[in-house]
Structure 1
Amino acid sequence: MTAPDFDPAATLRGPRLTVRELVAGDLDALHAAASDPETWAGHPARDRHRREVFEPFFRTLLALGGAVAVEDRAAGRIVGASRFYVPPDRPEAIAIGFTFLDRAYWGGAANFELKSLMLAHAFAWFDEVWFHIAPGNIRSQKATGKLGAVHAHDARLDLAGQPADWQCFRLTPEAWRAAAARRPSEDVRPS
C-alpha cells in the first residue's frame, strides 16, 4: 500500500458487521455465502458458485493480499468478502473490489454498512477510492454509482493475474458524504 500506515487487514466493526482479514480457514464458510447461483448471475464469472470454480478465486484473494471477510455478528457467520488493493494505474490511491455478499444480504443495510466501514478506513489515509467493474456487470455499476462514485475512464488492467477491461469509478470523500446523507435511514435485517 502506498500510505505507510494503512492496514488493509485492520478489523473494522459496525453495528451489525465485522470486517476482518480473510484467512485460509475461511474457505468453507465463504463458499457457503457464495454458493447461490443467483449471486453470480450478473457477474462475468457466472459459475463461481461452484466449489471447483470458487476455490481458485479464494486462493487468488489470499495470494493477492488485502482481502477481508465480512461477518454478520448476530448470525455468527461469514456473509461475504471484499478486498483493498492498489490500482495499477493509480499507485498513489487505493481501490475496493472483489466484493460479494450472500444474496440474503442484498437490498438492505448490509452492503451500505460494509462500504461505510471500508470507505471510512480508506479515507483516513487516501483522498480517493477507486472501483473497477467489468463492463457487463450492470448491477455493480449501479450500486457503485449510488455510493457517489463516478465513471472516470475505461482501462485494461491486471487486477488478479490477467489483464482485463474495466470501467474505473472514482469516489472522493465529499461525494461519499453527499451520497450517504441522501440515503434513507434503514434498520433492515437480512431474511
Structure 2
Amino acid sequence: MSWTQTILRSERIFLQPLQAEDFKEVYAVASDPLVWEQHPNKNRYQPEEFNNYFEGALKSGGAYRIIEKNLGLTMGCTRYYDYDESDKSVLIGYTFIGRSFWGKGYNQELKQLMVEHAFQFVNIIRFHIGATNFRSQRSIEKFGAIKTGELDVAYYGEPVKKNFIYELRNPIQR
C-alpha cells in the first residue's frame, strides 16, 4: 500500500509521511485539550494518551504530518488506514488540526487532497466519526459524505466508542 505514503501537496497544505522524529512538533499541536473536546477520546492531549495515538499512527503505514505550506508550520496529523483490496476501500481518519487553522477551509482542502489521491486507487472511502464529534460530522457532510451506519470502534489501544460511518463513492469505478 505504498500509495498511502506518497508526499501530497495542495495550494496551502503539504502532507509528509509521518516519522518518529515528528513527535515533538505534532504533539505541540495535539497538547491543546480543546482540539479533542468533541472527540470520543478526549484525553489525547495528555502525553501518555498521545504517545499511544502516535505509536498507532506510525504502525499504520499511512499516517501524515500536516504542514501549512507557506509558513512550514505543523498543523496536525491524519492517516489512511484499513485498506481493503477486495472491495477497493480505505478509511481516512485519526485527523486533527490545530485550532489556529480552524474555520479557514484547511480541513476541506485536506480532505479534498486525500480523497482525490485515494480515488486513483480505491472505489470507496469511509470515515469513522465519533457519535459526539458534531464538528467533524458537519464537516464531512458538507464535503458530501453520506452517513451509512454506526459502529463501535476501538482505536489503537483505546476503549471502544460509538462512531458513525460516512462514505464517499468514486464516480469513476476502478
Superposition TM-score tier, normalisation by shorter sequence: 0.7 to 0.9
1:28 pairs with 2:24: yes
1:108 pairs with 2:104: yes
**TM-score for both structures, normalised by structure 1:** 0.80
Q: Equivalent of 1:57, from 53, 58, 82?
A: 53
1:40 pairs with 2:36: yes
- Once the two structures are TM-superposed, the CA of residue 169 in structure 1 deviates from its matched residue by 0.5
**TM-score for both structures, normalised by structure 2:** 0.88
Change (3 A) 1:24 1:17: same
- Once the two structures are TM-superposed, the CA of residue 35 in structure 1 deviates from its matched residue by 1.8
Deviation readout 1:93-145 (Å, 9 max, x if unpaired): 11100000011111112112111110110111112210011212111111111
Q: Give the conservation status (yes or no) of the 8 Å contact 1:87–1:130.
A: no
| Higher strand fraction (1 or 2) | 2
User: Residue 168 of structure 1 aligns to which amino acid in structure 2?
Assistant: I
Q: Give the conservation status (yes or no) of the 8 Å contact 2:40–2:131.
A: no
* Structure 1 unmatched runs, 5+: 175-191
Change (3 A) 1:158 1:39: closer
- Once the two structures are TM-superposed, the CA of residue 161 in structure 1 deviates from its matched residue by 4.8
Task: Report the identity percentage.
Answer: 33
Q: Partners of 2:48 and 2:153 in 1: how far apart?
A: 25
Q: Give the conservation status (yes or no) of the 8 Å contact 1:130–1:170.
A: yes
Corresponding pairs, count? 169
Deviation readout 1:142-191 (Å, 9 max, x if unpaired): 111111001101123455356543211111245xxxxxxxxxxxxxxxxx
Deviation readout 1:1-45 (Å, 9 max, x if unpaired): 4xxxx6100000111110121010000000111122111111122
Aligned partner of residue 68 in structure 1, secondary structure:
strand
Q: Give the conservation status (yes or no) of the 8 Å contact 1:156–1:165.
A: yes
Aligned partner of residue 15 in structure 2, secondary structure:
strand
4+ residue segments displaced more than 4 Å: 161-164
Q: Partners of 1:24 and 1:123 in 2: how far apart?
A: 28
* Structure 2 unmatched runs, 5+: none
RMSD over aligned CA atoms reads 2.0
Q: Equivalent of 2:7, from 11, 32, 53?
A: 11
